[in-house]
Amino acid sequence: MREEVGADATVLMDGGIRRGADVLKALALGADAVLLGRLYAYALAAGGAAGVEAVIRQLAGELDLTLALAGGRSVRELDRTAVT
């Protein structure tokens, strides 16, 4: 992903992010950030502010676990080798 647009472009991944592993993949492939609008909207509709908080905590936990299983300590360390 990053190779196609160059180092100066800001890359935002939007769509298809449902779990922590999806976040890890997007960041490893060069995204600067991921957008979570649909997850927020579903959580808000189902549980209000508490639902959004629960989804954020769950996603962060999944990302931490996936990162640890991939052998990383920080998402800043990620590169393409984390997903190949």
Is residue 5 domain-resident? no
Residue-range definition of the domain harbouring residue 42:
11-77
pTM of the model: 0.84
SS3 at position 81 = helix
Alpha carbons 53 and 59: distance in angstroms, whole number: 10
Number of domains in the chain: 1
Mean pLDDT, all residues of the chain: 90
Do residues 72 and 18 touch, judged by C-beta distance below 8 A? no
Residue 2: is its pLDDT beyond 80? Answer: no
Is residue 83 domain-resident? no
pLDDT value at residue 1: 67
Question: How many Cα atoms are found within 13 Å in the side-chain-facing hemisphere of 16?
Answer: 9
Is residue 32 domain-resident? yes
Is residue 43 domain-resident? yes
Instruction: List, in sequence order, every beta strand (DSSP E) within the chain.
Output: 12-14, 33-35
The CA-based angle 28-49-34, given to 5 degrees, is 15
Is residue 3 domain-resident? no
